[in-house]
Amino acid sequence: MSWIQKLYRTYEYVQAKGLEDEDLALPFHMPKAVHLKVVLNDKAELVHAERFESKKQVPIQVTEKSSKRSGSTIAAYALHDSLQYLAKTAEKYLTLEYLSKLAMQKAGAKGGAKWARFLSDSDENKQQFINSEKGKYQNGFSFYENQLSDWVQETDLKEIEIVLQYVQKGSLIEDLLEKKTFSFENNILMSEKDDPFDLTIVWAVEMENDLHSDLWSKKSIQTAWIEHQESKSEKESVKQKDLCYITGEQDYPSEAYPKIIGNAKLVSANDTDGLTFLGRFLTDKQAVVLGNDVSQKAFNILKWLISRQGIKNGEQVTVAWAINGETVPSPLQDNYDHLDADDDLAIVETSDENRPSESSNPKDWSANIGQTAAELIKKKLHGLKAQLNEHEQISLLMLDSATPGRMALTYYQEFLPENYFANLDAWVDDFSWYQRYLYETQDGKKKKMILEIIPPSPKNIAQAVYGRNLSDKLKKQLYARLLPVIAGGRSVPIPKDLVQQSFQTACNPFTRYQNKDGEKEQKEHWQRNIGVACALHRGYWARYHNSSQRRNYSMALDKENHSRDYLYGRLIAQAEKLEWYALYLQNGKKAPTRATNAERYFQQFAHQPYSTWLNLEKSLVPYKNYLTSRGKDFYKQSIGEVMDLFDTEEYKNDGKLSGEFLLGYHCQLMEINRQIAERQATKQKKIEASE
């Protein structure tokens, strides 16, 4: 349970710093999406009401029971709530017409069986259903009124008394109809296009000499509610203090743990019929006891951390934090986010997006450019590290929703800053490669592809491993497997099956995507997948289990690497560029609209390189002849240079190629692009000199 202790200590530290943040809920408070603000004056009269433009999240006062309410449970929030609890006359507007309309909307949805029955029932059964719903609303208002009355009796806050006086009048809905916030047409209560009964309403009270009218954020009300809840626990004889497992002090044990995301809770002990704790303990208290104070603070700070710096993947969320509240980068954060536009490390491709790898930027793609980018990322990460004390502990956890109402803690580790950032450095060093991103120009219209020499993002890895149509379940599994690799440092290798699957995907240029995507978009996905596969292959060998066989592949073209797989990668890259350039010239210096033979044969080439190359070489003859007639033999010569590096027996080996094949292919393409950019720069300088 050390993770709860760390959350509790984080809350205490943040509060001690006096942080003003509405998203950080106090004990017996929780964030809630609200829709309508009702403003009262000091005479308990409705002045006006205003809708929030979007769903506004505010911290509202709750009880232990209402913080976990769901379904038909009657449990009012302390002050702000829905019409079911706030409006004395709400049950009058549960008309047959309204409920029939509601039933039509919900009958086909999940859990809509009762509404489907309502639509098909007899008039007599429908009326019984309506009476039952009205009874729930009457009970809801009575619950709210009694709970608020208890609070008013213990506090001298005038604002709370005014709200109580107003709701007891029972004119809320009628006043909102008069103000035209609501409408009543065809015997159906409406609020613009929304269902008024779905709205969460918050109160504001305008008082003389008090500019702060919003009750949800008023410090005096927040403090008074916390004190009221604590005193209520002391008065309840059924609750006895017990030893809190986190603080080691006596406190009233929590019986209703707060929700974390949606209706899902991380700690729960109400499953007395299942095997949650039965078989090991007689009662849930023998399993764990969390005091009210710890439970409220720990889970409120967790929700705050999730909203502030969590990496979400559906209902799966990863959070990294330090007790002092300083920003800690998440291992699953895309490293692209750490680079700025003015870092001048991105290689921006030409506006002609049909050219898969051409560059208009005469940047020196030398052997150390990858290291330069990596050092910049690490420098920025270390800037965050400098904000932490040497012995400040960093906590990292991953949560996932096991069922709609339950969350599971799937990963938790604690690190010292030195170790944590060293592990992030290792991920950058081991897995950096050319990664493609869409870049939007300043006019906000055109988009270009850029290359960043950084590790691939978890999202791109998921798409490269499983294809663009990967399921949410597979994506969650992948993130859970990647987290220990990124956060664990060089001692944790990347799973081999992910490397192999990314290689297979990268060797299959087009079949992963639908025809409607178009060849241009397919090619962009393919080039991205190649970058991911190269990064994973490079990282796999950098962390290979046998340290004597580890390799550190360069991101620049390694002309000293004469392995069969690497050379075959260089060979097909040269063939692709030769045909592409010939088509480019034949098309009036416009990018060709079809794939080259090298791209079409790519998957087959990876499985049978020698026999496929013999066929591919024949298809290159007309393009070689065309370029020779134009006095452009450099591609033909380049192919010959690669061929001369092969060992004869290795060249004729027709066995499958490994991931090193992609490294050779990609490095050769980037080298050709560098040469093109260099020639363009030289030509431009000559033009400028002549002017």
- Domain ends where: 221, 240, 259? 240
- Domain ends where: 240, 258, 278? 240
Whether residues 451 and 585 fall in one domain: no
Return the sign of the alpha-carbon dihedral for residues 439, 596, 668, 589.
negative
Please indicate, yes or no, if residue 254 is contained in any of the structural domains. no
pLDDT of residue 365: 41
Give per-residue pLDDT as tens, 363-420. Answer: 444 334 445 656 777 887 878 788 888 888 899 999 998 777 788 899 999 999 999 9
How many alpha carbons fall within 13 Å on the CB side of residue 685? 7
Distance CA 681, CA 691 (A): 16
Buried b (16+ CB within 10 A) or exposed e, 463-490: bbbbbeeeeeeebbbbbbebbbbbbbbb
Please indicate, yes or no, if residue 292 is contained in any of the structural domains. no
Whether residues 359 and 442 fall in one domain: yes
pLDDT of residue 449: 66
Give per-residue pLDDT as tens, 544-591. Answer: 999 999 999 998 899 999 999 999 999 999 999 999 999 999 988 888
Cβ atoms of 136 and 94 closer than 8 Å: no
pLDDT of residue 32: 87
Which among 130, 152, 137, 133 is positioned nearest to 76, based on CA atoms? 137
Distance CA 540, CA 131 (A): 66
Whether residues 91 and 209 fall in one domain: yes
Please indicate, yes or no, if residue 664 is contained in any of the structural domains. yes
Lateral strand order in the sheet of 316-322: 259-261, 264-265, 406-415, 394-403, 316-322, 311-313
- Specify the number of domains making up the chain: 3
Whether residues 185 and 108 fall in one domain: yes
pLDDT of residue 683: 83
Whether residues 477 and 568 fall in one domain: no
pLDDT of residue 371: 54
**What is the separation of C-alpha 553 from the centre of its chain, rounded to a whole number of angstroms?**
31
Distance CA 47, CA 39 (A): 6
Whether residues 606 and 545 fall in one domain: no
Please indicate, yes or no, if residue 529 is contained in any of the structural domains. yes
Whether residues 575 and 650 fall in one domain: yes
For the chain, residues with pLDDT lower than 70 are 1, 19-20, 22, 233-239, 269-279, 338-374, 438-449, 468, 511-521, 691
Please give the helix or strand (H or E) that residue 494 lies within, else none. none
pLDDT of residue 356: 37
pTM of the model: 0.81
Assign 464 to helix, strand or coil: helix
pLDDT of residue 22: 67
Please indicate, yes or no, if residue 18 is contained in any of the structural domains. no
pLDDT of residue 443: 62
Please indicate, yes or no, if residue 301 is contained in any of the structural domains. no
Please indicate, yes or no, if residue 308 is contained in any of the structural domains. no
- Our CA angle for 545, 481, 453, nearest 5°, is 75
Buried b (16+ CB within 10 A) or exposed e, 245-277: bbeeeebbbbbbbbbbbebbbbbbbeeeeeebb
pLDDT of residue 139: 95
Q: DSSP strand E in 498-643: where?
A: none
Whether residues 582 and 494 fall in one domain: no
pLDDT of residue 525: 83
DSSP letter, residue 285 = G
Phi then psi for 214, rounded to 5 degrees? Answer: -75, 115
Residue range of the domain that includes 72? 23-240
Whether residues 97 and 171 fall in one domain: yes
Please give the helix or strand (H or E) that residue 686 lies within, else none. helix 660-690
pLDDT of residue 359: 40
Whether residues 320 and 468 fall in one domain: yes
- Domain ends where: 206, 240, 274? 240
For residue 397, the cross-strand partners are: 319, 412
Other CB atoms within a 10 A radius of the CB of residue 79 amount to 23
